[in-house]
Amino acid sequence: RGDWKTPNSSAYIISRDPFRAIRRGRQIFQRKFQHLDGAENTFYARDGSGDLEKNLGIGAGLADSCSTCHGRPRGSAGFGGDVVTRPDSRDAPHLFGLGLKEMLADEITAELRHRRELALAEARRTSAGITRLLTAKGIQYGSITAMPDGTVDTTKVEGVAADLRVRPFSAHGGTISIREFINGAMNNEMGFQCWDPELTRAIDDKARLTTIAGMTLDSAADALETPPEPDPTKVAEGKQPRNQIATAIVDYLEFYLLNYFKPGLSEQTESVNRGRQAFDKLGCGSCHIADLQIDRDRRVADVETVFDPERGNFNRLFSSARPLFKVVDQNDGHPALKVSILGSFEVKNIFTDFKLHDLGPNFYERNYDGSIQKQFLTTALWGVGTTPPYGHDGRSSSLTEVILRHGGEAQSARDRFASLSAIERTDVLELLSSLVLFPPDDTASNLDPGDRSAPGFPQVNHGSIKLTVLFNDPGNIE
């Protein structure tokens, strides 16, 4: 791990050669781990009872790589796995744009909690109960009533837990941050002993932690996901519990996923444009909100991928990368720092409201303790055109079927879709089908546009999102 003055450490490379760090994270993500690395099919059961509710890692070992569950298309951090975290299993989602989701959810949380603090301050000042609407980024989350004694009535809060923390990861909204997500997957899916000393220390000491990717975690304000206690039978030198996944590995993965490319757009036809209008008219857009604004973007670059038959090769898509960092040269003999400019950014075509909704019994799922999970996060629709099957559990075989599966809070929108003419329905499906994923190593870009006249094209020289050209030393491609 080191720090920003420790050569070759993860902190040093992330802060001074960030695109090399992103590429390292991608290499780790695609790595096939082996038993000698620590991957295994069983995990230490802390309670000794084999209770899956207490330790999902008991069932670990079905995956030996991040890309086992998140590998399509062609090794990208996409979709393609079936994750046994519930009796009915989960269909692994794609991870494109994951950092944007983390930042949006965190900013929504901060805004909701700020409104709560303002209401509490007014209640204390006036010695009366104060009811205020909860809104963030134009999204309605119900209301709260703050009391002079410092308590808050949250019975009318909608779509978020009473602590007002938006948890953007897992279908039921269970995880706050990318770092927790990584630790959970390493432990529960791959069977590593990964207890991340940094995250563990923040939880045990009730301290605020700013991760290597800039996410602030405060265990005094939030219930963070504690890594499993180390297995005392797995020890390193000095009889200390062995951490099988180094902190630096988690650092690279976190930074990679923070900066990972957002989904793209395929051809925007007249049918797609009509579909956008129909989508909102049906009421789908009330939950699947197309565009949201980030106030403080922590990424170091953005990649825009669109339909471009002139420059695109595979899938006729072309990506344009642009920097979002500034160079700070401290003249200390080290390479200059390359740090995010932390500017605002409009996230387009994400199609979510980051709220929990009850979509009726067709979406309910069983938990291991016999209870029924009824509420799920609004799925971000970007990429949905290339990620069948559908639903958090993969039970729906097509876009039409997953729409018709909606009930509960979405019943009226579902019924309006069902009553559309064949042409109108096709327009909506064309919109959804235009929200696509892509293979970064096979998508031409301004970093590597490819060469159609080269011998062997398109097996070679088809273009790619070639991060190596952005390394401090592009000749050292590792």
For the chain, which residues make up each domain, given as ranges?
Answer: 10-61+177-259, 264-440
Fold of 264-440: Cytochrome Bc1 Complex; Chain D, domain 2 (1.10.760)
Task: Give the amino acid at 268.
Answer: Q
Mean pLDDT, rounded, for 39-45: 55
Residue 307 contacts residue 317 (beta carbons within 8 Å):
yes
| DSSP reduced 3-state for 423 | helix
| Mean pLDDT score, 323-349 | 97
Q: What is the predicted pLDDT for the residue at 86?
A: 67
The pLDDT, as a whole number, for residue 91 is 85
Measure CA 86 to chain center. Answer: 20
Q: What's the pLDDT score for residue 63? A: 81
Region 24-46: mean pLDDT is 76
More confident residue, 264 or 81: 264
Instruction: Compute the C-alpha angle 84/356/364, nearest 5°.
Output: 45
Residues of the chain with pLDDT > 90, as a percent, come to 75
Residues pairing with 210 in the sheet = 216
Q: What is the CA radius of gyration of the chain?
A: 23
pLDDT tens for each residue of 411-447: 999 999 999 999 999 999 999 999 999 999 999 999 9
Q: Give me the pLDDT at residue 41, please.
A: 59
C-alpha angle with apex 263: 316 to 94, nearest 5 degrees?
Answer: 120
Segment 47-73 shows an average pLDDT of: 72
Is-cis flag, bond preceding 458, omega within 30?
yes
Q: Mean pLDDT over residues 85-113, rounded?
A: 91
pLDDT band at residue 161 under the 50/70/90 scheme: very high
Per-residue model confidence (pLDDT) at position 43: 47
Burial of 221 (0-12, 13-18, 19+ CB in 10 A): middle
Average of per-residue pLDDT across 229-233: 64
Q: Provide the pLDDT for residue 49.
A: 58
> According to the model, what pLDDT value does residue 243 have?
75
The residue ranges of DSSP E strands in 270-316, in sequence order, are 292-294, 301-307
Give the whole-angstrom CA distance, residue 191 versus residue 193.
Answer: 7
Determine how many CB atoms are found less than 10 A away from the CB of residue 389: 15
| pLDDT score at 354 | 99
Confidence band, pLDDT 50/70/90 cuts, at residue 45: very low
Q: State the chain's mean pLDDT as an integer.
A: 92
pLDDT at 410: 98
pLDDT confidence band for 56 (50 / 70 / 90): low
Closest to 22 in 3D by CA, of 407, 381, 334, 440: 440
Give the confidence band of 207 by pLDDT, cuts at 50, 70, 90: confident
| Interacting residues of 454 by C-beta distance below 8 A, sequence separation 6+ | 460, 461
